[in-house]
Structures are given as structure tokens and as C-alpha cells.
Structure 1
Amino acid sequence: MGNGRVSHVLARQYDRLSERLERGIGGPQLRTTLVGDLTGRVVEIGAGTGRNLPYYTKADHVVAVEPSAGMRAQVAGKLVNTVPTVELVDATGEHLPFPDGEFDAAVAFLLLCVVDDLDAVLTEIRRVLKPGGKLSFFEHVRDDGRRGRAQDLAAPLLRRVQFGCRPNRPSVERMEALGFDVRLSDPVRLSPKPPLSGPYYSGTAIRL
């Protein structure tokens, strides 16, 4: 999740709370598509409780970055089902403790809506990727028109009650502005449709 303020109690409940979303997005297939073909050295920013880790079937080494001690405590039980070597790192997306060009790929899964400084996180991801490396992501972004304006109004409240989530983040536009070539899927249709978040997209952002 990438939110260092998540308590140990909420972290223990996170997988259970995520099940409804998982059913709505077809979680296993989405995670397979998102990370299953990534190769080389991969960094996942905001790895949460490690739900993506069993799906890294082609990577050589995965670095799972997670600032929440509660979330990191939940990862250990998932490491036995992973294929590559996994390294768990206590850090935030705004300050990644890695050299420039360290990774072949990066992953963000419902991360960019919760980070404190979106531009700083994207800049750091770009820095640690090799030229031509890709960010593989599943995120929701601000909608257009009336729904987008409703998201703007609801953002302060939702941030307090939904793990820091801001439903009005212009994440794709910021990727493009900060040096990525973004390639989006068609919108991912959730069932039931969340009233104040989305549209949701998976995609890749290539480091230019």
C-alpha cells in the first residue's frame, strides 16, 4: 500500500478487506498479467502484504519496498510460495535507497493514490529504472466531468477512511509529464462499480 501509517491491526485485516476488490477485478488473472512476465531485477513499490509475490514467475530477484511495519509482518507467510529471490526493504516511494538504473522493471499496484508526494515517487521510480525499463501498474485515476468533481470533494474524507486513498489523482498525466511513455489497457471494469473511485487501468510506463 505504501502508507507507513497503516497500523498493525489494519495490516492484519488488509487481506480480508481486499477480497471484495479482488473478486471485482479478477485478482489472480490481473496479477499474472501485471507481473508474471517481468524479468531481471524488479522493484515493487508499496508491496503491502505481498499479494503479488507468488506471481513473479520469471523475475530473477524482487525487491519488495514497504514502509509499514504492520504490512511487512504479513509478508513472511507469502515468501514460501514465491519463485524468485525476494528482498523486503523498509522504505518509502519518495526515498528509494537504490542506485540509479538498478532495476529492469518496477511495479505499482494501487499505490499512487495513497503516496504523499506523487511526483516524488514517480521521479524516484524513473531514477532507479534502467533506460527503457518499465513501470507495470494497476491504478485508478480521476474521472472526467461531474464524477471527477465529486471525487475532488470526497478526497479529504476518503483519504481518512480508506488507507490514505485519494480518488482524484491524475497519475497517468504525471507519468507522461515526468518522462514515461504510458501505454494503457482498456478500463478495468469492477463489479460492483465503486461509487467514487475509478476509472481503473492496468498498463506500462516505459522510462524514456
Structure 2
Amino acid sequence: MAKLASSFPPPPAGRPAAPADLSWAFSLGRTPGSDQLAARMTRAALEALGTGSAHSARISHATGLACAHLLAHGCARRYRVALGVDGPRCSVTVTDYGFDLPASGCDGDPVARARAAGELSRELSAEEGVRLEDVQVHHARDGAVLVRFTARLPVPGTAAAHTVPGQRTSPDGPGRTGGPGRTGGPPGRG
């Protein structure tokens, strides 16, 4: 079992916290439950950086889905999860490219793999709350799988850092939901 712990010094008095940078990769064996382990490790890394709990939960859940997809449709004995945080941008890549693929490639129906890739892409793109961007799901002819996505993280000290999970915030400003003219009340009231 892997544990991840990290601490960052607080910013100097009177200065807001600067967005953190992190580049972290780990490889896992193709074993049952490794998708859940990858999700927990991703969440621990993001929470150590101080990202909001809604962001950590959404990104780690998406990482677990990507790993589960690879376990179901890839064929290498190992795979890699890479997490990159560069200021307010978080990118995640799950792949078995470059690992020990069978010489004959993967068994299975390529049409079924393509259908599953489309379903995963739609699932990652469709969930509400923290939005995932640049979602890519790729199956190579040799059987390798790549799943990649990005998400925007809240910048410490801004209103976006304090959004409620599942609440859509309008570009009109904090506290405004449901689009222009709406003030966050129940649907149908303006």
C-alpha cells in the first residue's frame, strides 16, 4: 500500500498563496483494485496541494474511471498514471504505451473498444460540477490505451476556490447561478 503525504510552507503574511506546481507519475500492475488505488493516490496528491475538495474528488474519480477503462480494454501488464499541476491547470494521463504489450497485440473486438472509448469520453466530459476539458481516449492498433484530460483548479483567494460542489457558477460573478438574470434561487424563480 502506498501513502502520500506532503506539506507546503504557508505564504508570507499579507501575500496570497501561489498556485503550486507538481509533476508526479507512478506505475501500477494490471491487478484488480489498482484503479481504486490510483484514484486514492491522485486525491491525496491534490489535497496535499490544497485544491478544493470538489476538485480533488472529481479529478480522482475521473482518474479511477480512466484506469478502470484501461484495465478493461488494455493488455499490458503495467500502466502509468501521470498527474501534472501547473498553476490553475491540472492534467492527468493514464496509459500503457511503452509497457510490455503482447507481441500479437490485444485480443478483442476493435469496434467494441472504439465504442467503449466513446462512452468513456462522453462520461468524463458530461459530469456536472468541476468540468474536465481536452478529454482524449485513444486505442492504438497494437492494443495500447491512452486516456488524457485536464481540469482548471481554483486559484487560492478567489471566489472560484469556494464554489459549492455541483453548483454551476455563471460568468457574471460569484453567487450567480443558472445564467444571466438568475440569482441562485430554486429553478423557476428569478
- TMscore range, shorter length: under 0.3
- Structure number with higher helix proportion: 1
Who wins on radius of gyration, i.e. which is larger?
2
TM-score by structure 2 length?
Answer: 0.28
TM-score by structure 1 length?
Answer: 0.26
